[in-house]
Structure 1
Amino acid sequence: MSHARVEEVSDSDSDPDVMDPSQFDPGQSILSPADIPSFSSSSPPNPNLGFGGPGTTSAGAGGVGGVGGLGGPGTEFLQPRFNSPRTGSAEEAATVERTRSWQCLYPVYFDANRSRADGRRVGKDQAVANPLAREIVDAVAGLGLHVVFEPGKVHPKDWSNPGRVRVLVKEGGVAKNSRVKNKHHLYTIVSEHLKAHPTTENSPMRLRVAGLPTPNKAVPPPAIPRGWKMGSILPLHSPAMSGGGVSDDFLKQMMGELSGSPAGGGSDSDAVAAGAAGGSSKKKDKKKKGKA
């Protein structure tokens, strides 16, 4: 069972309880962990990350690096590595532990395609289409606050749009900067930036993940199954972008897990399909025998 994280509550706090993603149990998710790309911080710096500003740096072999030009004290970037073992340096682990209580920002918080129950945390008038974590980094860049960008983190209600931004808004109950009073004020600031800078089909190209081939042009939108809530513009390392959208194998696995079968070969969905085919052939045989 998931555990809700207790956050500060004010009279204007109308957000529904949202489970702490750090406590998310992949074993209880409909999405198999195998379908979420693995990331580590052991890769060398990628010069094409798209973090603007002279002197911009990214995480090196140590896993954590100050990103110049992205705000006052600096923005730390936990360099992911696509399709690699989930290992990280001791320095990265220390950073994760140090920032555990910081305010989290996920794209789903600002997604106009989501309801409050689906993860949205701002009003409908403040939400935008296709929010991306990389754009949220830009929104908080100049606030003079400590920021950590984790491109590989996934919100449990928004598996297709990876990326998390942590911001140190308060320490010991005291605001770190008079420009940001509390988390709701931070949401407003981010919303205003996202509305002023709409996501385009070229936006995902601003974040290049080490180990992931970089396309020469904007990638086509993912194939979104009917009834699914997914953005039409997603990060290049999104699991939904593999093969141009949600694959047939992935959908079969989802069907298999819904029916209680383990992921992998010989899912119930395959058995159902085979059974249906077998049933139809048996009916045909009976008809033939009747005619004979």
Structure 2
Amino acid sequence: MAHLTKDHTLRERWICIYPAYVNSKKSAVEGRKIAKTKCVENPTTHEIRDVCLAAGMTIGVENKLYNREQNREPRGRIRIQLRNEDGTPKLAQYPTRKSIMMYIGESIPKLKSRQQKHGGSTDSNQNKGRRKDKKKR
């Protein structure tokens, strides 16, 4: 019963961040926790992990499924140590769960893997598979 202890260094006391929390494709009912303008499209646990490690956060990756996900493929979750043993914030610039989610939403689009994915798309590639002469019956 980790919630009864005051020790914030226990892994069970760390906060959980699921990719759905910062996914701009999700609605609030589907699990999004912050504003759509601050979210990123379809984040992965690997991207969240990379961003959090770059900020100096203490994290753990777990292979868990978010209960509101419609597709049942395991996507995982990230556990982040929010507070020190005495209850003070581990990192002063991220004192709350929401501030960490905002940081994740702002930082993932800056990753090199995200910039390479979106750099080469053109309109001609998107219309490739469509039929122009399709008639209604």
Shorter-chain TM-score range: 0.5 to 0.7
Give the CA RMSD over aligned residues: 2.2
- Counterpart residue number, 2:93: 179
Secondary structure of the corresponding residue to residue 53 of structure 2: helix
**Based on CA coordinates, which of the two structures has the bigger radius of gyration?**
1
- Counterpart residue number, 2:66: 155
Name the structure, 1 or 2, with higher relative contact order (CA <8 Å, separation 6+). Answer: 2
Is the aligned partner of 1:196 residue 2:110? yes
CA deviations on 1:233-273 (whole Å, 9 max, x unpaired) are xxxxxxxxxxxxxxxxxxxxxxxxxxxxxxxxxxxxxxxxx
Q: In the alignment, is the contact (CA less than 8 A) between 1:148 and 1:165 conserved in 2? A: yes
State the shift of 1:179 in Å: 2.7
State the shift of 1:161 in Å: 5.2
| Structure 2 residue identity aligned to 1:177 | L
Secondary structure of the corresponding residue to residue 12 of structure 2: coil
Alignment of 1:202-281 (within 5 A): none
- Counterpart residue number, 1:166: 79
Structure 1: gaps (5+ residues) = 6-97, 202-292
Q: TM-score, normalised by structure 1?
A: 0.33
Alpha-carbon separation, structure 2, partners of 1:161 and 1:192: 24
State the shift of 1:184 in Å: 1.2
Secondary structure of the corresponding residue to residue 175 of structure 1: coil
Alpha-carbon separation, structure 2, partners of 1:115 and 1:178: 30
Q: TM-score, normalised by structure 2?
A: 0.67
Alpha-carbon separation, structure 2, partners of 1:184 and 1:130: 18
Alpha-carbon separation, structure 1, partners of 2:47 and 2:56: 17
Q: In the alignment, is the contact (CA less than 8 A) between 1:107 and 1:161 conserved in 2? A: no
- Counterpart residue number, 1:112: 24
CA deviations on 1:69-97 (whole Å, 9 max, x unpaired) are xxxxxxxxxxxxxxxxxxxxxxxxxxxxx
Alpha-carbon separation, structure 2, partners of 1:101 and 1:131: 24
- Counterpart residue number, 1:99: 11
Alignment of 1:278-289 (within 5 A): none
State the shift of 1:125 in Å: 0.2
Q: In the alignment, is the contact (CA less than 8 A) between 1:170 and 1:182 conserved in 2? A: no
Q: In the alignment, is the contact (CA less than 8 A) between 1:109 and 1:122 conserved in 2? A: yes
Structure 2: gaps (5+ residues) = 4-9, 119-137
| Structure 2 residue identity aligned to 1:190 | I
